[in-house]
Amino acid sequence: MSNEPISGLRERERRRRRVNRIKKVIIGLISFWMIFSLTAIVILTISITAANKRIDNVEQHNQADATGNSDSKKNDVDNNIDDNIGEDYEPTDDPIDDTGEDEPIDENAIKVYLTFDDGPSENTEKILDILKEYDVKATFFVIGKTDDYSKELYKRIVDEGHTIALHSYSHRYSSIYKSVEDYAKDLQKISDVVFDATGVRCKFIRFPGGSSNTVSAVSMKDIIKYVTEQGYVYFDWNVVNGDATAKNYTVDQLVDNVMNDVGKYQTNVVLMHDARAKTSTVEALPTIIEKILEKGYVILPIDDNTTPIQHIKVESVVTQ
Ligand code: ZN
């Protein structure tokens, strides 16, 4: 009897503690959920802002290119999005023991094709000087510039025995990949710019972002079909120096990126960029050339004998 009120008090106390514990758990869960959600929102916002900025920069840069405004600061960001897209592509074919090529130089030599996208730029002359110094020829996939200085550079590329090839006039994904017609118009425009400056009608092309790009609104297969019908041959790449990534590789790293992969294939197409901001690419070039030559590989410009390296193979789209 006399224990009744005490046990009643204890029971109340226990209940109070239990309720408090449950309250704490609920508050804890809510706090965790809020922090988690907030963190996710912050991360997403940062990613979206960064992505938007990059898209804007690329578009602005290319607008500047198209008008020949090459001294624009916008060039600094260059085409980061561009050639990142297909870079993770792992080639599975064209192994070293493939002897199916009709190359007049040396059937067994490993061939390296140095390719520069997005020029002409403030670095084109330096790149050409280095190539001249080592007496090697390369391939330039150019974009549309109409100022006199750029016209001279298109011409110098040709005069010094390199292959001039088409990349894009505007290099604006949003407009060139809207439809096959839009792509065709842009391609014709850059073809005419190069022809007017050099007298050369280009046959070789490289799609902005590569044939495996995932940004095109129209199927790349339709574009591939179109360019093939027009007699063009497109080239992707199987080796990169990494200068299109946001990683800002050091000169040594750019060299390593190339040397880690070059020589794995009979035909090695090395993707690099000729753009104002890509000064490390220029600095890395002499060492890259020296190391490739030391290995006994042959450096050549792309021509009719070159086995096209294609992420989406033309045979998979067009029956020739
Ligand atoms: Zn490009």
pTM, rounded to two decimals: 0.72
Query: Taking residues 10-14, what's their average pLDDT?
Result: 84
pLDDT band at residue 71, thresholds of 50, 70 and 90? very low
67: confidence class by pLDDT, cuts 50, 70, 90: very low
Cα of 10 vs centre of ligand 1, distance in Å, is 77
Lowest mean pLDDT, pick from 46-50, 137-141, 192-196, 218-222: 46-50
* 265 alpha carbon – ligand 1 mean position (Å): 23
Which listed residue (65, 78, 82, 117) is catalytic? 117
Range with the poorest average pLDDT among 19-23, 45-49, 102-106, 151-155: 102-106
C-alpha of residue 129 to centroid of ligand 1, in Å: 22
Q: Find the 105 Cα to ligand 1 centroid distance in Å.
A: 30
pLDDT band at 5 (very low <50, low <70, confident <90, very high): low
Q: What are the two backbone dihedrals, phi and then psi, of residue 87, each rounded to the nearest 5 degrees?
A: -70, -30
Q: Which pLDDT score is estimated for 26?
A: 83
Catalytic, 304? Answer: no
Q: Is the pLDDT of residue 111 over 60?
A: yes
What residue type is 293 in one-letter code?
A: L
Q: How far is the CA of 81 from the centre of ligand 1 (A)?
A: 9
Is the C-alpha dihedral spanning 49, 80, 82, 254 positive or negative? Answer: negative
Does residue 64 have a pLDDT over 70?
A: no
Q: Which residue is catalytic, options 162, 171, 273, 311?
A: 273
Q: Sign of dihedral through CA atoms 263, 264, 268, 272?
A: negative
Q: 54: CA distance to ligand 1 center in Å?
A: 14
pLDDT at 90: 52
Which tokens belong to 256? 């390593």
What spacing in Å lies between the alpha carbon of 208 and ligand 1's midpoint? 5
Is 311 annotated as catalytic?
no
Supply 203's token pair: 């046959």
pLDDT for residue 46: 64
Q: Which residues contact 2 (CB under 8 A, 6 or more apart)?
A: none
